[in-house]
Structure 1
Amino acid sequence: MNPTLPQLIDSHSHFDADEFASDRMAVFTRAQMANVTLQIVPAVCFRWWEQLRNVCQTYTGLYPAYGLHPLYLAEHDPRHLTALPTWLTQESAVAVGECGLDYYVAGLDAEKQAYFFTTQLQIAVDLQLPVIIHARRAVEAVIQHLRRFPRSRGVIHSFAGSEQQARQLLDLGFYLSFGGPITYPNAHKLRKLVQVLPLDGILLETDSPDQPLATHRGERNEPAYLTEVLQTMAILRQQSPAEIAHITTCNTLELFGLKQ
């Protein structure tokens, strides 16, 4: 680790993905050298839960979440929902997810998405776990579902909704997470949003290997680049990187019930 850098947590990293299969240890080492000391690793489908578990058991500071992502809707089966509580409890999961709604990709049945999403919300409430939520072009629908589960809490990852929606979610007790997209100079709405929202409602993420930063356009993303997300947020908010790192790290620890 680098003592000159603040400690960070990547609140959303798919470190188990096959894109890291050839050099996972090198990627992990680079993250550690950048002081990205912990990673929350959410699942996307039942088929990969075992690999996720194995990766999180192999590398220090990786914490699994298990869930069913809306983009993998064609793979999901109600039996996976039946198996989910056992995986969550027996494998020391810190959250349910990645789950949610995606109204951007054509052909994903909205009713079926809602069924898998709301069932996972209920499981999270029953087990008193936070949820990691994907909400692409579906923030309003996600908010409406969350209002039906007032005991739910969690994070909307890679938030891209309006300021009004953001404040509604904060009022519901949810965090909002930001990553690579804020590093693009033409992302005016998103960059304005991270300037005005309260820092005690914000987490940092990479969504590795997806959502590469502006400085790594077209490349594979990785957790070490979280330092660039931090630097961008510090410039946009005109706050010190150390202050932002401290508060967002505390937010992440609180949400997922972790100690550093």
Structure 2
Amino acid sequence: MLIDSHSHIDGAEFQLDIDEVFARMKEAEVGGALVAGTSLQDYERGLNFANAHKNVWYAAGVHPSTKDDDHEASIEELVGLTQPQKVVAIGECGLDYYYEEAPYDAQLERFARHIEAAKLANLPVIVHSRDAQEDTIRLLKEHDAGSTGFVLHCFTGDKKMAQDALDLGGYLSFSGIVTFKNATQIQEVASWVPSDRYLVETDCPYLAPIPFRGKRNEPSYVRYVARKVAFLRGETLEKVAEDSTQNFFRLFSKAELL
């Protein structure tokens, strides 16, 4: 069994065929999926979706690029969002410096609040990091994110970032990018990361793996991610499925498999 550790299947892209999406998950032996929140506006929709479906869990948080919320979530508000049983993490949150006009200071402050909220809620943090390697690691270290657990979702960093995150007690999650021909840096990390410190994900509807690149991604495709990771590690798909699933439930210990 595999778990899609990061998805957005509560979105509009899946409204018309969600039953078929779940059927394909079952056929691919994908036993569950975590839905990552990206804004306060998403919260009710995402939580309702998780509550409506068995073995779907939710993470509450505000993406670093989100600008649509009418206010910045306080630490106390973020903690409050984690009270429902299906909310198993804080995130996705972090830093995204891809666009030069990004308000870096505001992102740093938002990220710090999320880490502190996760510590108070005793839940792990789902970290989004794009072109912000040094600041991401610095804040994770300064705020002792390892004490509550964290994962660098859709890992695209280099060997140093991977090792720094592991040294802090974090996990790495590999997405469809690991199947791309030119993703040699990510593939190298996937080949040596400790077997008890990685997850697999889709980040659907984005980043569909080969052979579906450019199409809508969905949780059943996490099998292609796991297959590539297995190839890189010289292991069987079954071994990667077992390890990544155990790692998921160790990190997201509030998640219950029914």
Q: What is the TM-score normalised by the length of structure 2?
A: 0.94
Work out whether residues 68 and 76 of structure 1, in 8 Å CA contact, stay in contact via their aligned partners in 2. Answer: no
1:228 partnered with 2:206: no
The aligned runs of 1:201-212 (5 Å cut-off) are 201-212=197-208
How far does the alpha carbon of each residue in 1:110-163 deviate from its partner, in whole angstroms, 9 at most, with x for none?
Answer: 000111110011000111110000001112111100111222411000111111
1:200 partnered with 2:196: yes
Query: How far, CA to CA, are the matches of 2:201 and 2:70 in structure 1?
Result: 26
Taking a change above 3 Å as real, the CA distance of residues 76 and 173 of structure 1, as seen in their structure-2 partners, is: farther
Work out whether residues 176 and 225 of structure 2, in 8 Å CA contact, stay in contact via their aligned partners in 1. Answer: yes
Aligned to 2:105: 111
Work out whether residues 146 and 152 of structure 1, in 8 Å CA contact, stay in contact via their aligned partners in 2. Answer: no
Deviation at 1:76?
5.8
Query: How far, CA to CA, are the matches of 1:76 and 1:154 in structure 2?
Result: 27
How far does the alpha carbon of each residue in 1:225-250 deviate from its partner, in whole angstroms, 9 at most, with x for none?
Answer: 01111111111111111111111110
Work out whether residues 45 and 76 of structure 1, in 8 Å CA contact, stay in contact via their aligned partners in 2. Answer: no
Aligned to 1:49: 43
The residue type paired with residue 34 of structure 1 is A
Gaps of 5+ in 2: none
Query: How far, CA to CA, are the matches of 1:112 and 1:8 in structure 2?
Result: 36
Query: How far, CA to CA, are the matches of 1:134 and 1:79 in structure 2?
Result: 17
The alignment yields a C-alpha RMSD, in angstroms, of 1.5
Aligned to 1:35: 29
Identical counterparts, % of pairs: 34
SS for the counterpart of 2:189 is helix
Work out whether residues 46 and 80 of structure 1, in 8 Å CA contact, stay in contact via their aligned partners in 2. Answer: no
Q: What is the TM-score normalised by the length of structure 1?
A: 0.93
Taking a change above 3 Å as real, the CA distance of residues 139 and 226 of structure 1, as seen in their structure-2 partners, is: same
Q: 2:64 aligns with which of 67, 70, 73?
A: 70
Aligned to 2:20: 26
Aligned to 2:117: 123
Deviation at 1:92?
3.7
Work out whether residues 132 and 155 of structure 1, in 8 Å CA contact, stay in contact via their aligned partners in 2. Answer: yes
Work out whether residues 200 and 247 of structure 1, in 8 Å CA contact, stay in contact via their aligned partners in 2. Answer: yes
The residue type paired with residue 27 of structure 1 is V
Aligned to 2:83: 89
Taking a change above 3 Å as real, the CA distance of residues 92 and 61 of structure 1, as seen in their structure-2 partners, is: closer
Gaps of 5+ in 1: 1-6
Query: How far, CA to CA, are the matches of 1:90 and 1:225 in structure 2?
Result: 28
Query: How far, CA to CA, are the matches of 2:141 and 2:108 in structure 1?
Result: 14
Q: 1:175 aligns with which of 157, 171, 176?
A: 171
The residue type paired with residue 14 of structure 1 is H
How far does the alpha carbon of each residue in 1:14-45 deviate from its partner, in whole angstroms, 9 at most, with x for none?
Answer: 11111111111111111122111111111000
More helix per residue: 1 or 2?
1
Query: How far, CA to CA, are the matches of 1:221 and 1:53 in structure 2?
Result: 21
Q: How many pairs align? A: 254
The residue type paired with residue 155 of structure 1 is V
Query: How far, CA to CA, are the matches of 1:73 and 1:125 in structure 2?
Result: 25
SS for the counterpart of 1:47 is coil
What stretches of structure 1 move > 4 A for 4+ residues in a row?
A: 79-82
1:140 partnered with 2:134: yes
The residue type paired with residue 50 of structure 2 is C
Aligned to 2:155: 159
Taking a change above 3 Å as real, the CA distance of residues 50 and 112 of structure 1, as seen in their structure-2 partners, is: same
1:216 partnered with 2:212: yes
Query: How far, CA to CA, are the matches of 1:23 and 1:106 in structure 2?
Result: 37
Taking a change above 3 Å as real, the CA distance of residues 206 and 232 of structure 1, as seen in their structure-2 partners, is: same
